[in-house]
Amino acid sequence: MKLTLNIWRQPNANAPGKFVTYQVKDVIPEMSFLEMLDALNEDLIGRSEPPVVFDHDCREGICGSCGFLINGVAHGGQRATTVCQLSMRFFKDGQTLTLEPWRARAFPVIRDLMVNRSAFDRIIQAGGFISAHTGSAPDANAILVPKEAADMAFDAAACIGCGACVAACPNAAAMLFTSAKVTHLNALPQGQPQKDERTLSMVAAMSNEGFGSCTNHGECEAVCPKEIPLEFIGRMNRDLIQAAWHRHREPLTVPSVVQEPSHEDAHRQEGADVVGA
């Protein structure tokens, strides 16, 4: 089949970007979406044009490297699927697809479809861990963990840190990502000693990184390749209020209160070129 691709091309973080149109042919249904882009890139190298830059690695939906918007939808719209696992059999001959990077102030574009997601690491640094010096742990079965707690912790820990939740959110909020880590660790007995500090610090770090606030749209849950549920945001807010109460901290900034949208308003854009293949 043949496809028309409008791809965001931006040489580096400081240069303006623009959409460039490419025609790709000989696409077969057995290809994955990234294999289709591989074929485009081979073609571009053959024509001595710079290949399209995108992050990817494991190509089995677990490393969280890949991700961009296809026709405005993070990871392309197939339920619980990263873009590397998206098969070309879900597209039709003659379709036009627009590919652009995650759009969020906290995720600056590095090149083309590649963005900088270091803000997520800094949220984890603020408290997304259980302090356990290597070698100091008691026997693994010394503390019983109810199966329900272990299962919920796992559901939350399944997050791959791809950033789709941020890209899908009208406010570019990182609430789903942050709440997934808070829920994972706060659900376990081992996570209790640092629960309050963790919740307060991670929420503060999230705000400092320039992510927006949650207004309960639920777009994040809809695109999450690991189906992290919206419910975890509620859990985090509950833990946050509880932590603030324990600490008697004033004033409390609850992140679900609307502040300002944190999307880039508009990328600087030049006239789109059309490049035939």
Partner 1 sequence: MLEARIPSGPIEDRWDKCRLEMRLVNPANRRKHSIIVVGSGLAGGAAAATLGQRGYHVDCFSYHDTPRRAHSIAAQGGINAAKNYRNDGDSIFRLFKDTVKGGDFRARESNVYRLAQISNNIIDQCVAQGVPFAREYGGLLDNRSFGGVQVERTFYARGQTGQQLLLGAYQALEEQVAAGRVTMHFRHELLDIVIVDGRARGIVTRDLVTGRLESHVADVVVLATGGYSNVFYLSTNAKACNCTAIWRAHRRGALLANPCFTQIHPTCIPLSSDYQSKLTLMSESLRNDGRIWVPKAKADKRAPRDIPESERDYYLERRYPSFGNLVPRDIASRAAKEACDEGYGVGPHGQGVFLDFGDAIRRLGLETVREKYGNLFDIYERITGDDAYTVPMRIYPAPHYTMGGLWVDYHLMSTIPGLFVAGEANFSDHGANRLGASALMQGLADGYFILPSVVPDYLASAPHNGVDTSHPAFRAVEAEVKGRIDKLLAIKGQRSPDSFHRELGKIMWDDCGMARSDAGLRKALARIPELREEFWHNLRLVGGDEEVNQALEKANRVSDLLELAELMCTDALDRTESCGGHFRLESQTPEGEAKRDDANFCYTAAWEWKGPAQAHALHKEALTFEHVPLAQRNYK
Please give the residues from 134 up to 163 whose contact with partner 1 meets the rule CB under 8 A. 134-141, 143-147, 150-151, 153-154, 157-158, 160-161
Whole-number Å distance between alpha carbons of 32 and 92: 14
Stretch that binds partner 1, among 16-24, 34-42, 231-239, 244-252 (CB under 8 A): 34-42
Contacts with 170 (C-beta within 8 Å, 6 or more apart), sequence order = 215, 217, 219, 261, 263
Q: Could you tell me the smallest distance in angstroms from the CB atom of residue 149 to partner 1?
A: 8
Tokens representing 63? 């490393």
Q: Positive or negative CA dihedral for 231, 217, 175, 57?
A: positive
Between 83 and 102, how does the x/- string for binding to partner 1 read (CB under 8 A)?
Answer: --x-x-x-------------
Supply the angle between the helices 231-247 and 175-186 in degrees, to the nearest 10: 70
**Between 131 and 216, CB nearer to partner 1:** 131
Q: Where in 153-212 is the site for partner 1 (CB under 8 A)?
A: 153-154, 157-158, 160-161, 184-185, 188, 190-191
Instruction: Tell me whether strands 18-24 and 73-74 are parallel, antiparallel or unpaired.
Output: unpaired
Work out which of 1, 20, 24, 58 binds partner 1, going by CB under 8 A: 58
Stretch that binds partner 1, among 119-127, 166-174, 237-245, 257-265 (CB under 8 A): 119-127
The yes or no reply on residue 39 touching partner 1 (CB under 8 A) is yes
Stretch that binds partner 1, among 68-76, 131-139, 168-176, 263-271 (CB under 8 A): 131-139
Query: What type of residue is 23?
Result: Q
The helix/strand/coil state of 243 is helix
Name the β-bridge partners of 212: 173
| Angle subtended at Cα 116 by Cα 113 and Cα 118, rounded to the nearest 5 degrees | 150
The yes or no reply on residue 266 touching partner 1 (CB under 8 A) is no
Q: Could you tell me the smallest distance in angstroms from the CB atom of residue 153 to partner 1?
A: 4
